[in-house]
Chain A
Amino acid sequence: MKFSVLAFSLLATTVLTSQAHADKLDDIISSGTLRCAVVLDFPPMGSRDESNNPIGFDVDYCNDLAKALGVTAEIVETPFPERIPALMSGRVDVGVASTSDTLERAKTVGMTVPYFAFEMAVTANEKSGVKSFEDMKGKVVGATAGTYEAIALEQQVKAWGAGEFRPYQTQADVFLALSQGQLDATVSTSTVAQANVKTGKFPGIAVVGKAPFDIDYVALFTNREEYGLINYLNLFINQQVRTGRYAELYGKWVGGEVPSLSVNGVYR
């Protein structure tokens, strides 16, 4: 009698606690859908094709992740400033949105290990006379609000003490302003710069050189306390590199030398 009561209560506790502790990873698996926040204004990482379907590196990456989890992927378009509200209000599960893993941001969201790395390039209006990063001093420059390069460039403009910095809401607006001559130059990730110059939609601009900013490592992100999911994502990123899928996707969307995702001389 006593034993059966004990056994029953033990069983009850196990059942109850295991249900109460269903974490986000469980939720995704049981719901059958993985909702990814992806920026679709950021080719080649995310954009739309002629029939308006989302395409790009981040879109493929989300689809791979969903396949690994055995669920279907749902791409939720989020402009840069809306990535975090989308996560916090539960509209998305994971951000696959080229998000730079700054310490300041990691106080708010949980970042994985890097899944992609950007180098920064200077793109200039051909009439501006900007031929290198140093030439940008004293000019009107801009970048996409909320991005790593925007934060770095604004600090640089303040440090130079000359010129003007303008943040625009979308990458397309930055290149439009640049093409119109409202901006003299911009700093963006070199992949984005090349992709935009190649479209031919923005005449009169050219990539003129590298920007001496640190390599911009970008991470997947989810809620800070979801260790189970973050663990899974880290392993997933590792497997993507190991299996050669990362290099394959890089070749498909960007091309050229595949950037290394590890930093020498330190563990993460």
Chain B
Amino acid sequence: MLNYTFHWNQAFKALPQMLDGALVTLQIALLSMVIGLALALTLTAFRLSGNRILSGFATTWVEIARNTPALFQIYMAHFGLGNFGIHLSPYTALLVGIAFNNAGYLAENFRGALKAIPDTQTRAGRSLGMTPVQAFRLIVLPQMLRIAFLPVTNQMVWAILMTSLGVTVGMNTDLAGITQELNARSFRTFEFFALAAVIYYIIAKLVTLAARLLAARMFRY
């Protein structure tokens, strides 16, 4: 049984502060996605390159990013690198950690999308006189991005939720950090955490909705 009287007015007073935090959260998530996408495309190119070292590098990255906890990756970006004298601020460490994670997952999304496009299309393109690069750029790549689009938005939602792990490396300006601090000050844990959960939910929903609308416009046949 929860033996607790809720005081919502106390929590709502802190709402503007929490919404400021939500903006920081969204900013980190967006930046980490941009960096993650660029890295994922590079990793995909490495894998397709046929070069053993490059594809080995990409595979190692994907394996580590997908098979270790995001918490560990973020912690390593701050304290792990810190051990070698490389000091990333909590903001940067969080960004690096999530971007690393994003890149791994997105590279796998791209790989799956590539597999869904039959080889025969490339061959058909080639038989029409396209160079390999042209065939990839004009036939395969647009389809790959289309197939991967919704999984990518999935990752964006993940990125938003992963930002809450920043508190482990001393992040105090994002939504989770601000919520923690408000909680420490007043001990009104349940109100603040419930409010934070609702804000995370709304951001995630809005992002999904925006992605759907975008997809409907971009990918009309």
Collect the chain A residues with CB atoms within 8 Å of residue B132's CB. none
* Separation of A88 and B187 alpha carbons in the complex (Å): 11
Interface pair A177/B170, CB less than 8 Å apart: yes
Flag whether B185 is at the interface (Cβ < 8 A).
Answer: yes
Residue of B nearest to A102 (CB): B185
Of B87, B167, B170, B185, the contact of A142 (CB 8 Å cutoff) = B170
Binary interface encoding of chain B residues 162-194 relative to chain A, with 1 for a CB under 8 A from any of its CBs, else 0: 000001111010000100110111111110000
Of A80, A108, A165, the contact of B186 (CB 8 Å cutoff) = A108
Residue of B nearest to A167 (CB): B172
Interface pair A88/B79, CB less than 8 Å apart: no
Collect the chain B residues with CB atoms within 8 Å of residue A142's CB. 170
Chain A binding surface SS class: mixed
Flag whether A49 is at the interface (Cβ < 8 A).
Answer: no
Flag whether B2 is at the interface (Cβ < 8 A).
Answer: yes
Collect the chain B residues with CB atoms within 8 Å of residue A109's CB. 187
Flag whether B221 is at the interface (Cβ < 8 A).
Answer: no
Collect the chain B residues with CB atoms within 8 Å of residue A107's CB. 7, 186-187
Interface pair B172/A166, CB less than 8 Å apart: yes
* Separation of A51 and B169 alpha carbons in the complex (Å): 28
Interface core residue of A90, A180, A223 (most chain B CB under 10 Å) = A180
Q: A85-B189, A104-B185 are in contact. Are A223 and B3 (CB under 8 A)?
A: yes
Chain B binding surface SS class: helix
Collect the chain A residues with CB atoms within 8 Å of residue B7's CB. 107
Q: A169-B167, A173-B79 are in contact. Are A84 and B189 (CB under 8 A)?
A: yes
Flag whether B21 is at the interface (Cβ < 8 A).
Answer: no
* Separation of A80 and B180 alpha carbons in the complex (Å): 11
Flag whether B78 is at the interface (Cβ < 8 A).
Answer: yes
Collect the chain A residues with CB atoms within 8 Å of residue B167's CB. 145, 167, 169
Interface pair B183/A146, CB less than 8 Å apart: yes
Flag whether A253 is at the interface (Cβ < 8 A).
Answer: no
* Separation of A107 and B189 alpha carbons in the complex (Å): 12
* Separation of A151 and B187 alpha carbons in the complex (Å): 13
Flag whether A176 is at the interface (Cβ < 8 A).
Answer: yes
Collect the chain A residues with CB atoms within 8 Å of residue B184's CB. 80-81, 145-147, 150-151
Interface set, chain A 125-183, CB cutoff 8 A to B: 142, 145-147, 150-151, 154, 164-169, 173, 176-177, 180-182
Q: A150-B184, A166-B170 are in contact. Are A182 and B189 (CB under 8 A)?
A: no
Flag whether B51 is at the interface (Cβ < 8 A).
Answer: no
Interface pair A169/B172, CB less than 8 Å apart: no
Binary interface encoding of chain B residues 1-16 relative to chain A, with 1 for a CB under 8 A from any of its CBs, else 0: 1111001000000000
Q: A80-B184, A146-B184 are in contact. Are A180 and B79 (CB under 8 A)?
A: yes
Collect the chain A residues with CB atoms within 8 Å of residue B181's CB. 145-146, 154, 167
A residues in contact (CB < 8 Å) with B: 80-81, 84-85, 88-90, 102, 104-105, 107-109, 142, 145-147, 150-151, 154, 164-169, 173, 176-177, 180-182, 223
26 contacts between A and B (CB under 8 A): A81-B180, A81-B189, A85-B190, A88-B190, A102-B185, A104-B187, A105-B187, A108-B186, A108-B187, A145-B172, A145-B181, A146-B183, A150-B184, A154-B181, A166-B90, A167-B180, A167-B181, A168-B168, A168-B170, A169-B167, A173-B168, A173-B170, A180-B79, A180-B83, A181-B82, A182-B79
